[in-house]
Amino acid sequence: MTNQPASRPAYEIPADLGAEVDAALTATDAARDQLGRAMLVATAAAVRDILTGCEPGAPFDAVTLELLGVQGETGALFPSGRYWTQAGEERTFTEAVGLADAGNGIHDMSDWTMRLDESTRSVWRPLCTELHNRGGRPAWRLDLVKAARALDEPTPDERPLAAMVDVTVCANERDHYPAKVGPEDQREGHVRPWFDLDTVRQIAADSHAEAMRYGHGSVDTVHVLEGTVDGTGHAVVLVVSWMYLGGDKHEQATEILQPNAEGRYAVGGHDWCWYALDDHMNPQIPFRP
């Protein structure tokens, strides 16, 4: 049999594939974040229902809840049945409502806590205090007061910089930059760094050099535009995603970054897959301060 050379492509790939993948990943991350917040509120509601007999207006005194890590790849959490009151007293649901009602309530609650796992860790971990392992399983103490307000919690962009830590970050195994990150604000172990304006200028220069070396089609470039209005200096930070130009997502090819209250910019966000470096310049994925 003679092999015939192909006369045309077997199939076509959409020109805007990159943009569609980015949009899908962004939507998935947002949905995962929302799921974690909703499950925190549902967990707090389940504790209330156990202790009040499903009477929302009845008084109860649980403020923290013990959760244990389930063996397995997901790292899901499971309620142990132990909680603490506002006075700091350690109690169990069995002591409070009896064995049958406690067992049924914990079973129902686990439908929510099982979704508090590695995929939603960035949401539930900041609301937990790590305890000593219980029976060889990781143990956490969930703040129920904060959990009940999880759907109202600020997004990572709105969190104060004081809650962040200083790190060195990298995204290409070569260029290193100082930044501040929120330890809980991670996507699959990658951080969202916030840079001061001088560092943004350096990132901009490096991005332009990268584009000259490899072509604009494979590099997002950063631009710092500066001017003066009525004697006051201003800076505009712009990111250009050249691969979007010419496709259906051309309107998303440029993004003006807004500084936070401290004048820092989240260049690249999670999309650039920034990772923190330790003292020996080794990657920390995930980042653990």
Q: Which pLDDT belongs to residue 118?
A: 85
The residue among 105 and 8 whose pLDDT is bigger is: 105
Question: Tens digits of per-residue pLDDT, 154-196?
Answer: 554 455 555 789 999 999 888 999 999 988 788 778 899 999 9
Question: Tens digits of per-residue pLDDT, 121-147?
Answer: 878 988 888 888 888 888 989 999 999
Strand partners, 240: 221, 254
Q: Which pLDDT belongs to residue 154?
A: 55
**Three-class DSSP category at 81:** strand
Shortest CA distance to 37 belongs to which of 132, 126, 151, 116? 151
**Whole-angstrom Cα distance, residue 118 to residue 112?**
14
Shortest CA distance to 265 belongs to which of 202, 189, 183? 202
Q: Average pLDDT for residues 50-57, to the nearest whole number?
A: 90
Shortest CA distance to 235 belongs to which of 220, 256, 219, 209? 256
Between helices 17-52 and 99-113, what is the axis angle to 10°?
170
| Contact between residue 217 and residue 242 where contact means Cβ atoms under 8 Å apart | yes
| Contact between residue 67 and residue 77 where contact means Cβ atoms under 8 Å apart | yes
Q: Which pLDDT belongs to residue 73?
A: 58
**Whole-angstrom Cα distance, residue 173 to residue 150?**
36
Shortest CA distance to 81 belongs to which of 69, 95, 93? 93
What does pTM read for this prediction? 0.55
How many residues are given for the chain? 289
Q: Tell me how far apart the terminal alpha carbons of the chain are, to the nearest angstrom.
A: 63
The secondary structure of 42-68 as a DSSP string is HHHHHHHHHHHTS-TTS---EEEEEEE
Q: Where are the domains of the chain?
A: 33-152, 156-284
**Whole-angstrom Cα distance, residue 170 to residue 259?**
20
**Three-class DSSP category at 160:** coil
Q: Which pLDDT belongs to residue 1?
A: 58
Task: State yes or no: pLDDT of 66 exceeds 90.
Answer: yes
Q: Average pLDDT for residues 8-25, to the nearest whole number?
A: 81
List phi, psi (to 5°) of 149.
-105, 15
Q: Tell me how far CA of residue 147 lies from CA of 40, 101, 256, in angstroms.
A: 5, 23, 33
Task: State yes or no: pLDDT of 13 exceeds 80.
Answer: yes
Q: Which pLDDT belongs to residue 161?
A: 53
Residues with Cβ within 8 Å of residue 146, at least 6 apart in sequence = 127, 153
